[in-house]
Amino acid sequence: MLDTIYSNSWLTAVCINTTLLIVAWILPKKLLTTWGYLNAWILGVIVWGTLGWQGYGVVMFYFLVGSGVTKIGMAEKEAAGIAEARSGRRGPENVWGAALTAAICALATLLVNPEFKFLLVLAYVASFATKLSDTAASEVGKAYGKRTFLITTFKPVPAGTEGAVSLEGTLAGMVAAILISVLSYSLDMIDGLGIIWCIIAAFVATNIESLIGATWQTNTPWLTNEIVNFMNTAIGAIFALGCAWVAVSFV
Render pLDDT for 158-214 as a digit per residue (tens, 0 to 9): 877 888 899 999 999 999 999 999 999 999 999 999 999 999 999 999 999 999 988
Question: Is the CB of residue 58 less than 8 Å from the CB of residue 128?
Answer: yes
**214 or 236: which carries more pLDDT confidence?**
236
**34 or 6: which carries more pLDDT confidence?**
34
Q: Which residues form the domain of 41?
A: 2-249
To the nearest 10°, the Cα dihedral for 218, 140, 97, 43?
A: -170
pTM: 0.89
pLDDT per residue over 67-123, tens digit each? Answer: 888 877 665 655 555 555 555 577 889 999 999 999 999 999 999 998 899 999 999
DSSP string covering 42-68? HHHHHHHHHHHHHHHHHHHHHHHHHHH
Sign of the alpha-carbon dihedral angle for 149, 159, 222, 176: positive
Report CA-CA distances (Å) from 226 to 57, 60, 94, 248: 23, 19, 6, 33
| pLDDT score of 90 | 77
89-93, 237-241, 242-246: least confidently modelled range: 89-93
User: Residue 32 forms beta bridges with which residues?
Assistant: 90
Q: Is residue 30 exposed (0-12), middle (13-18) or buried (19+ Cβ within 10 Å)?
A: middle
The answer for residues whose C-beta is within 8 angstroms of residue 50's C-beta and 6 or more apart is 106, 107, 109, 110
Query: Strands (DSSP E) along the chain, which ranges?
Result: 148-150, 164-166
pLDDT per residue over 16-74, tens digit each? Answer: 999 999 998 888 877 788 898 999 999 999 999 999 999 999 999 999 999 888 877 66
Q: Is residue 81 exposed (0-12), middle (13-18) or buried (19+ Cβ within 10 Å)?
A: exposed
Question: Is the CB of residue 82 less than 8 Å from the CB of residue 157?
Answer: no
Question: What is the enclosing helix (H) or strand (E) of 13?
Answer: helix 2-26
Q: Nearest CA to 67 among 136, 161, 3, 167?
A: 136
Amino acid type, 48: W
Amino acid type, 72: I
Report how many domains make up the chain.
1
| pLDDT score of 86 | 53
In this structure, what are the phi and psi dihedrals at residue 156, rounded to the nearest 5 degrees? -60, 135
| pLDDT score of 74 | 65
